Amino acid sequence: MSRSREELIKDFHQAFGLSIDEEPTVRLLELRRTLIGEEVKELFADMDSAIAHLKEGKAVPQALYSNMLKELADVQVVVSGTSVALKPLNKLDEALSRVHLSNMSKLGEDGKPIFREDGKVLKGPKYFSPDLADLI
């Protein structure tokens, strides 16, 4: 049986003496924001490189996809670490479940997705916003 995202991140936080279920402070929030920003920047750099390859009609090298996957995992680690570190945000799995239900309510009346011109999924007429207030 594989371990949950939260268990893995808590192991890391415990091993390195990082915050777990702490009340937010300016210092802790600034740190988490910085960590997320750094990892997203690294992912974006790899995505930009992949986009450049594709625009030139070239295949994206497997090594680049491998690195993108690593960077994507790093983004997940720092996002999940933020949830583990900050007590008001430690119900990320339940929040994700509720956001998923909300996202599924974006379907149109015909049960089909509605897309913006660039491919973003838009809210349908039956959309409802997720209620997360009780998770804080």
pLDDT band at 27 (very low <50, low <70, confident <90, very high): very high
Report how far residue 108's alpha carbon sits from residue 127's, in angstroms, rounded to the nearest whole number.
9
Apex 13 CA angle, 95 and 93, nearest 5: 10
Task: Pull the structure tokens for residue 92.
Answer: 């990320």
Torsions phi, psi of 79, nearest 5? -70, -45
Alpha-carbon torsion 16, 6, 64, 45, what sign? Answer: negative
pLDDT in tens, 99-132: 999 999 999 999 999 999 999 999 999 999 999 9
CATH architecture of 1-90: Orthogonal Bundle (1.10)
pLDDT in tens, 32-62: 999 999 999 999 999 999 999 999 999 999 9
Residue range(s) occupied by CATH 1.10.3420.10 in the chain: 1-90
pLDDT band at 29 (very low <50, low <70, confident <90, very high): very high
pLDDT band at 26 (very low <50, low <70, confident <90, very high): very high
Write down the pTM of the prediction.
Answer: 0.90
